[in-house]
Structure 1
Amino acid sequence: MPRPRSLTPDQLVSAALAVLDREGAAGLSMRTVAKELRMSTMGLYRYVADREELERLVVESVLGRVDTEPPPPDARWEERIEVLVRRLRDTVGGHPAVVPLTITHRHRSRAGLRWSEAVLAVLTEAGFDGARRVVALRALLSYVIGAMQLEHLGPLSDEGTVAISALPVDEFPLLAETAHRAKGVGAEEEFFGGLAALMGGLRTDPVL
């Protein structure tokens, strides 16, 4: 007769997030989560089949905390998209190692799909349809996920910025100048400035 279950999904997710926050995605395994829970690795298999299932539980839990309620309809569509993006960034930013996992499990996460549905609702109300709406959603997803990864998992350190700004100007004049100016640009300004530039392109939409 199987032993009664005593571990809840919330406890599993909390342990997996503790490992992710401390060791990053590379450190997540059945063994490390079992150790976090102070149980045997084999014992953990009574609750989840493998690491992939652990990842799905974590992604669903974190993305499930994102508020997907429609932003106020009286605002411009760009402002409404920014509200949804800010909610996602603020929530996932608390556990940045989850960002790459959202890419792997984006098609199976109901919570992630609900966020995309909310974005599509705003785009549709703004007049996006057909191929134009497809491109807009995918462009937004690509930017948001990529920018969050750069911000949290691969940021250009102050030392790196200084090193690039010191490059020989005869060989890299624009890169050196841009790196020099980048020292005064904060993460918030960079992220939402890039988002605004993307939405400006979607608004004019010269191709579709």
Structure 2
Amino acid sequence: MPRPRSLTPDQLASAALAVIDRDGLIGLSMRAVAKELGMSTMGIYRYVRDREELEQLVVELVLNAVDAEPPASGAPWRERIEIMARRLRDAVGAHPAVVPLTLVHRHRSAGAMRWSETVLALLTEAGVEGERRVVALRALLAYVVGAIQQEHLGPLSGEGTVAITELPAAEFPYMTETARCARNVSADREFFDGLALVLRGLDV
């Protein structure tokens, strides 16, 4: 008789997420998660078929934390979409090493579908429909996910900015000047000013 299951999907995903938060994606393995849970590596396979299924559970756990309820209807549509972008940034930014997994598994995530459904409804209210709405949603997702990656996984602030300012100014005049200006741009300002540029392009 098979042993009864004792772990919920969320418990398994939480253990995997703890490994990722501590050791990065490179540290994620069935053995590492089993150790986190205090069980044998083979025991993990009673719950998931392989690492891919484990990754899906992690993405679902992170994206389920995103509040997908429509923001208050009294605000302009751009402000309401900004709220949705902030919610996604906050939830995923709390576990930045998971960002690459969200790109791979978002289409199977109910949390991602709920967020997208709300954003699509807001775009529709604003008069963005049909193929233009397709492009609008994908542009917003590309911006938000890309901005999270840049902020957490490959930031140009700190040492990166300093290195660019030290490039030969005669060869890279605009890069060096822009890097000097970047020292005064916070992560929040970069994210929301960039988002405003994208949303202005959707004006109807």
| TM-score bracket, shorter-length normalisation | over 0.9
Alignment of 1:90 onto 2:90: yes
Q: Distance in 2 between matches of 1:135 and 1:6?
A: 44
Displacement of 1:24: 1.3
Computed over aligned residues only, the root mean square deviation of the Cα atoms, in angstroms, reads: 1.1
Alignment of 1:36 onto 2:36: yes
8 Å CA contact 2:64, 2:111 repeated in 1: yes
Displacement of 1:130: 1.0
Runs of 4+ in 1 over 6 A off after TM superposition: none
Displacement of 1:26: 2.0
Q: In the alignment, residue 11 of structure 2 is paired with which amino acid?
A: Q
Q: Distance in 2 between matches of 1:19 and 1:182?
A: 33
Which ranges in structure 2 are unaligned for 5 or more consecutive residues? none
TM-score by length of 1: 0.95
Q: Which residue of 1 aligns with 2:145?
A: 145
- Sequence identity (%): 70
Q: Distance in 2 between matches of 1:25 and 1:65?
A: 20
Displacement of 1:9: 2.0
Q: Which residue of 2 aligns with 1:65?
A: 65
Displacement of 1:157: 4.2
TM-score by length of 2: 0.96
Q: Distance in 1 between matches of 2:63 and 2:13?
A: 12
8 Å CA contact 2:14, 2:61 repeated in 1: no
Q: Which residue of 2 aligns with 1:176?
A: 176
Aligned residues: 204
Q: In the alignment, residue 102 of structure 1 is paired with which amino acid?
A: T
* SS class of match (2:107): coil
Q: Which residue of 1 aligns with 2:2?
A: 2
* SS class of match (1:17): helix
Q: In the alignment, residue 23 of structure 2 is paired with which amino acid?
A: E
